[in-house]
Chains A and B, each alone.
Chain A
Amino acid sequence: MKTRRLDNYGKINRDKILSFRWDKKNYKGFEGDTLASALLANNIGIVGRSFKYHRPRGIFSSGVEESGALVTIGSKDRRDPNVRATTQELYNGLEASGQNAFPNVNFDLAGINNYLGRFFAAGFYYKTFMGIPPLEWGKGTAIWMFFEKFIRKAAGMGSASGLPDPDTYEHAHDFCDLIVVGSGPAGVAAALEAAEKKLDVILVEQDSLIGGNQLAENDFDNSQIKNQLENLGIKIMTRTTAFGLYDNCVVGLLERVTDHISAPNVNIPRQRFWTIRAKHIIVGAGAIERHISFNNNDIPGVMTVNASKHYLNRYGVLTGKRIVIATNNDSVYETAHQLSEAGANVTVLDSRTNFEIETNKSFEIRKGYVPYNINGSKKIDSLDISKSEIINKFETINCDQVLLSGGWSPAVHLLSHRGVKPKWDYNNACFLPSDTKENITMVGSSRGLWNKNDCIASGIAGTTDALNRLGISKTNYFFPKPGGWKNPIQPLYEVKYKKSRSKSFVDYQHDVTTDDVRLAHREGFISVEHLKRYTTLGMANDQGKMGNIIGLSLMAELLNKEIPEVGTTVFRPPYTPVSIGALSGRNVGKHFRPLRVTPMHQWNIDHGAKMIEVGLYQRPWYYPKENETLSDSYIREASTVRKTVGICDVTSLGKIAIQGPDSTEFLNRIYSNGFSKLQVGKARYGIMLRDDGIVMDDGTSWRLAENEYFMTTSTGEAAKVMSWLEELLQTRWTDLNVNVTSVSEQWAGVSVAGPKSREVLNNCVDDSLVVTNNNLPFMGVTSTFLKGNIPCRIARISFSGELAFEVYVKSDFANTMMDLLWANAKKYDGCLYGLEALGALRVEKGHVTAAELDGRVTIDDAGLSKMASTKKSYIGSAMRKRGVLKNNDREILVGFFPTNLKETFNAGTIVCEKNNIKGQGIGRITSVTYSPELGHWIGLGFVKGGLDKWKDTNLIGADPVRNKQMNLKVVSPHMIDPKGERMYA
């Protein structure tokens, strides 16, 4: 196979030969190649198969707009599908393969789809969704359901590896005065001007080299520009794409750190996701050359003119020998000249008849001619051409390449991200950026400037605009007028094929043809947004960078309108695809969210705890002995608490210090129950409501001194309660003299529960008198010392229903406290208990937690009406009485027993009446446990009308998810010791 590489062309490093694999065969390229240029150099024409028709596809472009050369890079867990070969830098050992083909891109069995094209026209999916005609019309979609998986497999691009991504990704942030997107002449001019004016500048370039489209020039050398930029302190970020613009001049960047390296250092991330906060943004994103629609305009060998120039001058690859260039504008002539100088036989078809162009006559120009049809299937054999005035086959030219230039589309995408609609420019046949009030300025060919000097002038003007808007200067400036060609462009989007069946592609990647656009029109999908969705025009990786305007022009013609009247679809971020890995950055696996541990976390683990996540917290779940299961363990732990004593880490509870002269008044307003008469040295259980009368949280508040309280909240609601208290004090009750401070991290807490808890504690405190029944009665609070002079707070509070204490020490003393308590608890055959046993104990007592207080429950629903004071007003007191919360059929807290005590049930079970098992039933079970005390399963939950209505009725527990059903009995939620004799002991 002959190479297409030329000796005297290109800026590749010929001293560094790189070997790579394409579809399991070995090839060679050079440092500085892209995969696309290396494939072209090796004379590989077919690099993929198209989306629907499986037509052979080649390389269409040399950049991000590529819609043909989408390949899979890497293998196994590093397989990266849908990579544009045109932007993938070559490295030693690169492994790439074609997509959407079996067995390979050269011989693809699904190529038969090409001949079944009329079945796969636009709207194919939508129509088959409704049933396959005529067999299924009106009779369902069974055939579709059956064929769907085959169709989906046949249509598509590369596939993901399905394995965990072994690479790391990073999120990074930066700030600057000015960010310039694009390092073409305009962007560089803007950056230099800004840096000279002392702005802090970042210059972003998606390519590996700076220069923009100048990299396609044969005499371009960027080293001097690079030095200039660096000397002025400009931060240059290459291989970095500005993929989106966001509010307040925030730019999202994707930096490809190691995608071009064969064996990257494992300690650096593969890609970096940057969030840059700038004061002004200058976009010099360039313009993208369009193709032209005509029959078979997708045969491998078709390319844009500018791409061919890139391959010649940057990579030293002559892409064809007998080249036909089809154009409607002046931009191709330099390329035509250079290609013929490089040894190609070049013919230019220019659709225009009246124009003057200076050439050295090294190639033929055929004025008034357009391409009509390509002959060939896997490569170009010849091109039928037509006169532009009378479209029909005129003559055939033998050639191996057809280069197209249907005009240029300024890359207005980034501005479009900000909701700025581009405006159509008739003279240049393209959309130009509109002005915006935001600090964003478009420069260079992305504002429709076609020559270099205009681009440079626009860059300087852009920076002046930025300086003016930032209030740094007040200088007049003007932008050059769009355009810059000697002869005007003549719009040319489609050359209509006269035969009935044609394949004139508008959007290569999704196989959208001109006929598809016409079909959409016939079927009524004439709005641009409908056209896009019906035909999938502009929806693939390239997002219509090449084909969108052609689609619009066709629709405009069909509607007898102008392109601006038809409109344009909105470009949304990202400009080019961003990997999910980069979006998630380091927030994966264990780093997905923060981990909170209590100060005795290690102590718990050392003492056999199995942990469970509760919110962000790791809490002890159960402490198995030897071969105990979870169930064995928690039942033993709960029984031990009821028999002797147990110790449980409750540090994760929210803790708030409330201080100041108005503290009592404050608590009295936020809790539904009275706090005005709480004495110093006493704690009280309280319920907080939201403004709308629903329960927000419950907890205890301890009056430590006249003006000082210690509040505990539930684990899950701690942050919310804290914010709520701050909001009230800072926005509503600004006259109250109260200070709230979160002390959740400062105090470590344990619950010591069980009939022997007082004895245990007695052995642990310095002064044994402090915990006697007289000195520390139920709900009593004391500040004292544990042995070893450890200051502590003890409150006699019970969640388990047993005689129990909560003991708090400063977090640093947590382990000492645990050692002390555990040593003494062991003397009474006590245990350590975890969340599962804690749950069992509280369900037995009918105490509610987050499972019950789910944001829909009122204080009355929770059976805590006694906690709602009638003597005062408080947050939610007016709203809790509103009609809908007082309905008779509200679901009220009850206990549940299985009628057959040997049966079990699960939380989430729906409670129904017999013979009426449907929908949401009449209630639900929220928490369940095996009750060691009662010897069977019990549950807490809600039922419409509550205990009074159902206490003698057999109800059904329906658990369709787990395919279970059982008979239920409704009981009082206070399933053991309803009078609380044990607590008061």
Chain B
Amino acid sequence: MIRINCPYCGERDHSEFSYGGDATINYPSLDASEKEWTEAIFFRKNIKGFQFETWHHSNGCRMWLVVERSTVTHEIKSVKPCHPDLQKVVENNK
């Protein structure tokens, strides 16, 4: 069972969260080409080890988080808000 340390709520069970997906995708602009969008949507790396992924605290504070998790051991190295401004707020409050 994965435990995620939500920066807003504290450590919670993964059952409170919904898995998002790859957090490293740079989504192209809306007017980008079909090719760019295809790259962004359909091509994924299958990482063995730590990867950055988004999780939504859907049964909690409703914030989207970037979680650095090992796909092998489920070890979680870091949890940050997705929103860069909120990342700064959390950093400053540490």
Q: Are B38 and A873 in contact (CB under 8 A)?
A: no
Given A247-B74, A691-B41, A882-B34, verify A723-B82 contact (CB < 8 Å): no
Is B93 close to A, CB under 8 A? no
Residue numbers in A under 8 Å from B37 (CB-CB): 691, 878-879
Is B89 close to A, CB under 8 A? no
CA distance A719 to B41 in the complex (A): 22
Whole-angstrom distance between the Cβ of B21 and the nearest chain A Cβ: 10
Nearest CB in chain A to that of B85: its residue: A734
Q: Are A730 and B81 in contact (CB under 8 A)?
A: yes
Q: Are B3 and A277 in contact (CB under 8 A)?
A: yes
Residue numbers in A under 8 Å from B74 (CB-CB): 247-248
Contact with A along B71-85 (1 / 0, CB 8 A): 001100000011111
Residue numbers in A under 8 Å from B46 (CB-CB): none
Q: Are B30 and A874 in contact (CB under 8 A)?
A: yes
CA distance A877 to B27 in the complex (A): 14
From A248, A692, A734, A878, B33 is in contact (CB under 8 Å) with A878
Residue numbers in B under 8 Å from A250 (CB-CB): 1
Residue numbers in B under 8 Å from A731 (CB-CB): 20, 23, 54, 64, 82-83
Whole-angstrom distance between the Cβ of B29 and the nearest chain A Cβ: 8
Q: Are B2 and A248 in contact (CB under 8 A)?
A: yes
Whole-angstrom distance between the Cβ of A435 and the nearest chain B Cβ: 15
Q: Are A727 and B1 in contact (CB under 8 A)?
A: no
Q: Are B30 and A879 in contact (CB under 8 A)?
A: no
Is A726 close to B, CB under 8 A? yes
Q: Are B84 and A734 in contact (CB under 8 A)?
A: yes
Nearest CB in chain B to that of A877: its residue: B30
CA distance A277 to B2 in the complex (A): 10
Residue numbers in B under 8 Å from A726 (CB-CB): 56, 62-64
Which residues of chain A (438-459) have a CB below 8 Å from chain B?
438
Contact with B along A653-682 (1 / 0, CB 8 A): 000000000000000010000000000000
Is B32 close to A, CB under 8 A? yes
Q: Are A246 and B1 in contact (CB under 8 A)?
A: yes
Contact with A along B30-72 (1 / 0, CB 8 A): 1111101110111000000000001010100011100000000
From B20, B34, B54, B63, A878 is in contact (CB under 8 Å) with B34
Is A139 close to B, CB under 8 A? no
- Give the interface centre of A275, A437, A438, A878 by most chain B CB atoms within 10 Å: A878
Is A875 close to B, CB under 8 A? yes
Is A881 close to B, CB under 8 A? yes
Which residues of chain A (671-711) have a CB below 8 Å from chain B?
691-692
Residue numbers in B under 8 Å from A719 (CB-CB): 58
Nearest CB in chain A to that of B72: its residue: A419
Residue numbers in B under 8 Å from A25 (CB-CB): none
Whole-angstrom distance between the Cβ of B50 and the nearest chain A Cβ: 15
Contact with B along A723-757 (1 / 0, CB 8 A): 10011001110100000000000000000000000
Nearest CB in chain A to that of B31: its residue: A873
Q: How many residues of B contact A (CB 8 A)?
A: 34
Contact with B along A21-37 (1 / 0, CB 8 A): 00000000000000000
CA distance A437 to B38 in the complex (A): 40
Whole-angstrom distance between the Cβ of A973 and the nearest chain B Cβ: 29
Nearest CB in chain A to that of B15: its residue: A275
Q: Are B41 and A692 in contact (CB under 8 A)?
A: yes
Q: Are A723 and B2 in contact (CB under 8 A)?
A: no
CA distance A879 to B41 in the complex (A): 10
Whole-angstrom distance between the Cβ of B86 and the nearest chain A Cβ: 8
From B13, B31, B34, B83, A879 is in contact (CB under 8 Å) with B34
CA distance A652 to B58 in the complex (A): 19
Nearest CB in chain B to that of A173: its residue: B13
Q: Are B34 and A275 in contact (CB under 8 A)?
A: no
Given A247-B2, A730-B81, verify A723-B32 contact (CB < 8 Å): no
CA distance A502 to B37 in the complex (A): 69
Q: Are B3 and A730 in contact (CB under 8 A)?
A: no
Which residues of chain A (215-254) have a CB below 8 Å from chain B?
246-248, 250
Q: Are A881 and B34 in contact (CB under 8 A)?
A: yes
Residue numbers in A under 8 Å from B38 (CB-CB): 879, 882
CA distance A437 to B70 in the complex (A): 14
Nearest CB in chain B to that of A722: its residue: B62
Q: Are B1 and A875 in contact (CB under 8 A)?
A: no
Residue numbers in A under 8 Å from B81 (CB-CB): 730
Given A734-B83, A878-B32, verify A727-B41 contact (CB < 8 Å): no
Residue numbers in B under 8 Å from A879 (CB-CB): 34, 37-38, 41
CA distance A438 to B74 in the complex (A): 11
Nearest CB in chain B to that of A692: its residue: B41
Which residues of chain A (803-839) have a CB below 8 Å from chain B?
none
CA distance A726 to B61 in the complex (A): 11
Residue numbers in A under 8 Å from B63 (CB-CB): 726, 730
CA distance A881 to B34 in the complex (A): 8
Residue numbers in A under 8 Å from B34 (CB-CB): 878-879, 881-882
Residue numbers in A under 8 Å from B58 (CB-CB): 719, 723
CA distance A730 to B82 in the complex (A): 6
Residue numbers in B under 8 Å from A669 (CB-CB): 30
Contact with B along A402-440 (1 / 0, CB 8 A): 000000000000000000000000000000000001100
Q: Are A727 and B31 in contact (CB under 8 A)?
A: no
Nearest CB in chain A to that of B28: its residue: A878
Residue numbers in A under 8 Å from B36 (CB-CB): 878
Q: Told that A247-B73, A874-B30, A878-B37 touch, could you supply 19 new A-B pairs with CB distance under 8 A?
A: A248-B1, A248-B3, A277-B1, A277-B3, A691-B27, A691-B37, A692-B42, A723-B56, A730-B63, A730-B64, A730-B82, A731-B20, A731-B82, A734-B84, A875-B30, A878-B30, A878-B32, A878-B34, A879-B34
Interface residues of A, Cβ cutoff 8 Å to B: 246-248, 250, 275, 277, 437-438, 669, 691-692, 719, 723, 726-727, 730-732, 734, 873-875, 877-879, 881-882
> Could you pull out 20 A-B pairs where Cβ atoms are within 8 angstroms?
A246-B1, A247-B1, A247-B73, A248-B3, A250-B1, A277-B1, A691-B37, A692-B41, A723-B56, A726-B63, A727-B20, A727-B54, A734-B82, A873-B29, A874-B30, A875-B30, A878-B31, A879-B34, A879-B38, A882-B38
Smallest CB-CB A-B distances: 6 pairs: A873-B30, A873-B31, A250-B1, A730-B64, A731-B82, A247-B74
